[in-house]
Amino acid sequence: QLQLQESGPGLVKPSETLSLTCTVSGGSISSSNYYWGWIRQPPGKGLEWIGSIYYSGNTYYNPSLKSRVTISVDTSKSQVSLKLSSVTAADTAVYYCARSVTLYWYFDLWGRGTLVTVSS
Amino acid sequence: QSALTQPASVSGSPGQSITISCTGTSSDIGNSNLVSWYQQHPGKAPKIIIYEGHKRPSGVSSRFSGSKSGNTASLTISGLQAEDEADFYCCSYADNWVFGGGTKLTVL
C-alpha cells in the first residue's frame, strides 16, 4: 500500500525558508501515471494548491506563490521536497503531500499532513 | 487565479438529500471537465469522492454524485447519514489546480 509521509520543522521564523520533505513508500515515485504535489491548509481555512512535480522534474506552481516556491524530486530516495522562502505568519498551515493522477488530474492519495507554524 | 465559490455551510436531516454548488469562471470550470470533490473530516486529510465531474473512485458510496452546468459544478449527497458530516471542497484543473473555499455540511 503506497503511503506518503511529510516531515520537517514544525516551527519556522519569519523571513526564513520553510523546508519540507515527502517520502513515498510502498510504491514507485517514478511512475508515468502520477504527479506529486503540495497543498496547504491554514488553520480553520480552505485548501490551497502550492505546486506539483513529475518524476522527471517538470514542475507546475501556483502563480500566487511561484516567486517563493521550489519543488524538487529525488527519485533515488523516493522523496519530493518543498521550499518556501521569505515566510510570514500567513504561511502558517498544515502542509499536505498528495499524488495526482495524470490525464484525470485529481488528488487520489494524501499524506497525513504536517503543521508548520511561522513565528519568532 | 481566484478560488472557486462554494457556500460556507449547508445542512440536512438524516435521509434527506443536499446539493453543494461550486462556481467558477469560463477559464476554469466552464472550460474543463476536470472537476473533483473532496471530503475532509476534522483533523484528517481530504479524501477524493468525485473526479472528472461525476465519476466515483472505487469504494466511494453511490450516495455521492456530481454534475456540471456551465461555470458551476455540483455535488449531491443523497440519503444523508451522520457520518457524512464533514467539510467538502471542489477543485478544478485547467493548467493549474484551483480549490473552492469549502463547505461545512451539518447533519441535523
Q: Are strands A48-53 and A59-61 parallel, antiparallel or unpaired?
A: antiparallel
**Mean predicted confidence (pLDDT) in A42-57:** 96
Residues 6+ apart with CB under 8 A from A62: A48, A49, A50, A51, A69, B1, B96, B97
Search chain B and give the residue with CA nearest A45: B101
User: Distance between CA B87 and CA B78 in Å, rounded?
Assistant: 16
Q: Looking at the predicted structure, is the pLDDT value of residue A112 above 90?
A: yes
Q: Which of A46, A52, A60 lies closest to B99 in CB terms?
A: A46
Give the length of chain A: 120
- b/e burial code for range A44-58 (CB count within 10 A of at least 16 → b): eebbbbbbbbbbeee
Which residues of chain B fall short of a pLDDT of 70? 1
Chain mean pLDDT for chain A? 96
A89: left (phi over 0), alpha (psi -120 to 50) or beta: alpha
Interchain CB contacts (distance < 8 Å): A and B? 62
Q: Do A107 and B46 touch (CB under 8 A)?
A: yes
State the pLDDT at residue B1.
65
A44 part of contact set with chain B, CB < 8 Å:
no
- What's the rounded Cα separation, in Å, for the pair A52 and A98? 9
**Residue of A3, A33, A106 best to disrupt the B interface, most CBs of B under 10 A:** A106
Nearest CA to CA, how far is A76 from chain B (Å)? 27
At A59, is the pLDDT very low, low, confident or very high (cuts 50, 70, 90)?
Answer: very high
pLDDT tens-place string over residues A82-98: 999 999 999 999 999 99
Q: Smallest Cβ distance to A104: which of B34, B89, B98?
A: B34
Report the run of H or E that residue A63 belongs to, with start and end.
Answer: none
How many beta carbons lie within 10 A of that of residue A9, not counting itself? 13
pLDDT in tens, A67-87: 999 999 999 999 999 999 999
